[in-house]
């Protein structure tokens, strides 16, 4: 209860410190994607699917008399089978010096500063159930809970081109369950922007940690790790690479026949390149991940791995309208042996954005 009262006090006192305007400004944006995806798994039969995806993002903001901007947002997603509302957006306060604080659903500061690495555009994917839990994202070790706060510095913090963030989150205080969950987390991240001749360089890094709890055996490693990456932009050419290493976990999940809580140790290497020439954007990306999964309290020496390569050609047909052709291939290894859960996928479609 003490943790929840502290969070509530911080929220109320921050909002009460300023004179809130009565009108709220709203902006909208979104996209509609429609196309066809052709899936060729290594095991099973080839399938063809119609892709019909739409999303609407609504942003709300207003500025108080003291100059503090209060903002939040939400999204509506239609993926054909169900309508999903996005309610994971924080309440953000941006101050006159450029610094900001996010309250509730704030996320993890480490993940905030993960470098964006180009990859193939499109809605490609290889279907198939697998026990391979190799991480494939740079921020896989950066967890958070809904009761969180994240502080962002203004630009040029301590040095020209430097920006930093710090976050902390805690759980709801609910009773522990057999299924593992994240109890609290912390994160720190930084982004440094500089130039080398005609090339703009962005360097991002982050560190994070968290405690994982259950009614039984607790995980030894928790959820913790780091990532680092660099992106270089020269004219219409973007090249980026990123690396992450750390620990995570997977709670019991009957829907995929996972009856135990599992520790996951892993590392991820991502690299990509994109080039814009006229109305055409070319992109290629590769990801190589390695991981070891084991029941809480146990160890394993057998490695899981995933290697993916994706590429795409995007053509701007008209303002806000683009045609996309994408390709993805995946290779899997599960517990040290070649797995047949990989394959390839093609996508041909169009996107209308507003």
Q: How confident is the model at residue 7 (pLDDT cuts 50, 70, 90)?
A: very low
> What sign for the dihedral angle of Cα 316, 321, 327, 330?
positive
Q: How confident is the model at residue 22 (pLDDT cuts 50, 70, 90)?
A: low
Look at 55 and 323; give whichever has higher pLDDT.
Answer: 323
**Does residue 72 belong to any structural domain of this protein?**
no
pLDDT over 80 at 158, yes or no: yes
The predicted model gives 133-157 an average pLDDT of: 92
**Does residue 280 belong to any structural domain of this protein?**
yes
Measured CA to CA, the distance from residue 17 to residue 303 in angstroms comes to 53
**Does residue 338 belong to any structural domain of this protein?**
yes
Q: What percent of the chain has pLDDT over 90?
A: 55
Look at 42 and 94; give whichever has higher pLDDT.
Answer: 94
3-state secondary structure of 7: helix
User: What is the pTM for the complete model shown?
Assistant: 0.84
The predicted model gives 173-184 an average pLDDT of: 85
Q: What angle do CA 243, 135, 209 make, to 5 degrees?
A: 75
3-state secondary structure of 227: strand
Residues 6+ apart with CB under 8 A from 297: 217, 220
Q: Is 110:142 a contact under the CB 8 Å cutoff?
A: yes
Q: Is 311:272 a contact under the CB 8 Å cutoff?
A: no
Percent helix, percent strand, percent coil in the chain, to nearest 5: 5, 60, 35
Q: Is 131:334 a contact under the CB 8 Å cutoff?
A: yes
Q: What angle do CA 96, 101, 102 make, to 5 degrees?
A: 135
Total number of domains constituting the chain: 1
**Does residue 92 belong to any structural domain of this protein?**
no
Taking residue 12's Cβ as centre, other Cβ atoms within 10 Å add up to 10
- Tell which phi-psi region holds residue 105, choosing left (phi > 0), alpha (psi between -120 and 50) or beta: left
**Does residue 88 belong to any structural domain of this protein?**
no
**Does residue 199 belong to any structural domain of this protein?**
yes
Measured CA to CA, the distance from residue 243 to residue 301 in angstroms comes to 22
**Does residue 160 belong to any structural domain of this protein?**
yes
Look at 11 and 164; give whichever has higher pLDDT.
Answer: 164
**Does residue 78 belong to any structural domain of this protein?**
no
Pure H helices in the chain? 2-16, 109-112
- The single-letter DSSP state of residue 66 is T
Pure H helices in 129-180? none
Q: How confident is the model at residue 174 (pLDDT cuts 50, 70, 90)?
A: confident
Range of the domain at 284: 2-16+25-54+97-353
CATH number, domain with residue 116: 2.40.160
pLDDT of the residue at 302: 73
Q: Is 198:234 a contact under the CB 8 Å cutoff?
A: yes
């Amino acid at each position: 209860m003490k943790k929840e009262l502290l969070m509530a006090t911080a929220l109320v006192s921050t909002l009460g410190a300023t004179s809130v305007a009565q009108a709220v400004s709203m902006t909208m944006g979104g996209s509609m994607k429609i196309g066809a995806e052709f899936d060729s798994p290594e095991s099973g039969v080839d399938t063809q699917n119609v892709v019909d995806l739409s999303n609407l993002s609504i942003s709300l903001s207003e500025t108080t008399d003291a100059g503090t901007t209060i903002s939040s947002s939400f999204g509506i997603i239609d993926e054909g089978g169900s309508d999903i509302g996005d309610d994971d957006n924080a309440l953000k306060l941006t101050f006159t010096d450029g610094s900001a604080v996010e309250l509730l659903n704030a996320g993890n500061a480490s993940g905030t500063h993960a470098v964006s690495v180009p990859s193939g555009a499109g809605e490609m994917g290889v279907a198939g159930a697998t026990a391979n839990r190799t991480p494939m994202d740079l921020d896989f070790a950066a967890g958070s809970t809904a009761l969180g706060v994240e502080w962002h510095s203004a630009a040029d913090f301590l040095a020209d081109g430097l920006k930093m963030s710090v976050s902390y989150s805690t759980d709801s205080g609910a009773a522990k369950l057999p299924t593992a969950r994240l109890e609290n987390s912390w994160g720190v991240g930084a982004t440094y922007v500089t130039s080398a001749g005609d090339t703009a360089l962005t360097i991002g890094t982050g560190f994070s940690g968290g405690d994982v709890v259950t009614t039984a055996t607790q995980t030894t490693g928790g959820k913790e790790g780091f990532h680092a990456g660099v992106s270089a932009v020269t004219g219409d050419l973007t090249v980026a690479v990123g690396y992450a290493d750390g620990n995570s976990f997977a709670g019991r999940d009957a829907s995929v026949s996972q009856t135990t809580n599992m520790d996951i140790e892993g590392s991820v290497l991502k690299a990509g390149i994109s080039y814009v020439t006229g109305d055409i954007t070319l992109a290629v990306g590769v990801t190589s991940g390695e991981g070891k999964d084991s029941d809480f309290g146990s160890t394993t020496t057998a490695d899981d791995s995933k290697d993916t390569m994706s590429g795409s050609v995007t053509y701007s047909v008209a303002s806000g309208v683009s045609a996309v052709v994408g390709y993805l291939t995946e290779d899997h290894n599960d517990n040290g042996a070649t797995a047949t859960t990989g394959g390839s996928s093609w996508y041909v479609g169009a996107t209308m954005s507003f």
